[in-house]
Amino acid sequence: MLRIGMLTSGGDCQALNAAMRGVVKAILNNSDEPVEIYGFEDGYKGLIYGHFRMLTGKDFTGILTVGGTILGTSRTPFKTIQDPDENGLDKVAAMKQNYYKLQLDCLVILGGNGTHKTANLLSKEGLNVITLPKTIDNDLWGTDMTFGFQSAVDIATDAIDCIHTTASSHGRVFIVEVMGHKVGWLTLNAGMASGADIILIPEIPYNIDKICKAIDARDERGARFTILAVAEGAISEEDAKLSKKDYKAKLANYKYPSVSYEIAEQIEKKTGREVRVTVPGHMQRGGSPCPYDRVFATRLGAEAGRLILKKQFGYMVGYKNREMVKVPLEDVAGKLKAIDPKSDIIKEAKLVGISFGN
């Protein structure tokens, strides 16, 4: 008997179900022994408190195109994972106990950066773990792409596309705030795909005067409007110079809903232009996965199934140079894949006239 546990952790995104389906179908179609699938509910919480349900192949039928996750998910911060819960329960010990109680041969974990830190911890504790790279931010180290990213790019791009007509009609400056606290992959790709004039990402601190200069330059060329794609983690040159402590102190007393509203106010004061802010928010994580993500997540899941059948554990299934690869969990955990400000894609964006406000 081959017993597999599965859970999805952290924020949801498109193609989680497609990835799990890929794992299960690959195992069921190629295992020489009977298979049992245990789905832990609401991420690591399910593994900690023993909330699970038995799944069969039928549970993974018809979910290729379904967004979200059939198992539910939650955030269980890595920084507190080794602290007892409110009742004094040792969370790590509880996860191990439930793993061994069910006699699992492997635990399949789908998640992003924080999820992989805990997955690596469990692997070091002796559990057989395989992970899949999930996040709309595309910021996981060790893989060129994460599933959910392309679907989110499509949605964010569509949002900015829709803004073009109203921005043009009213001759306004529009800011579209795109998800991404620490990295700007989503904002950069959606901004380029939709023809944004200014793109602000966390990796390139902005100068508000240079943003206004870019807007004025468009006005002088006869453009009626300007569109800014702004990552929610965009940061000014002044704030980038602050220590982490001082920056947190500033955010604690922040008077704006987000950085986009601060930028909007500054642009209005400096240029006299009318500015509007649009925040698509969690729409970017919702809905059906795009065709690319359906294929990509299926491939990742199938490769995870292959590794499980070969009893190769302690890896994340990644994607490098158009090939599926296995990446040691200890190499992934705690690392962030940020955009290099000197990378080709940034240079090419600048060549077509996109300003990064720096």
User: Does an H or E element contain 279, and which?
Assistant: none
Contact 97, 89 (CB under 8 A): no
The secondary structure of residue 82, as a DSSP letter, is T
Q: What is d(CA 52, CA 232) in angstroms, rounded to the nearest whole number?
A: 35
Q: Is 137 a catalytic residue?
A: yes
How far is the C-alpha of 50 from the C-alpha of 46, rounded, in Å? 5
Residue whose structure tokens are 């955030």: 75
Amino acid at residue number 193: A
- Catalytic residue (one of 137, 139, 197, 293): 137
Supply 86's token pair: 């409110």
Q: Give the burial class of 31: count Cβ atoms within 10 A of its Cβ; 0-12 exposed, 13-18 middle, 19 or more buried.
A: middle
Type of residue found at 30: N
What is the rounded distance in angstroms from the CA atom of residue 162 to the CA atom of residue 227? Answer: 11
Q: How many Å is the Cα radius of gyration of the chain?
A: 22
Cα 299 vs. chain centroid, distance in angstroms?
A: 18
Instruction: Provide the annotated active-site residues.
Output: 137
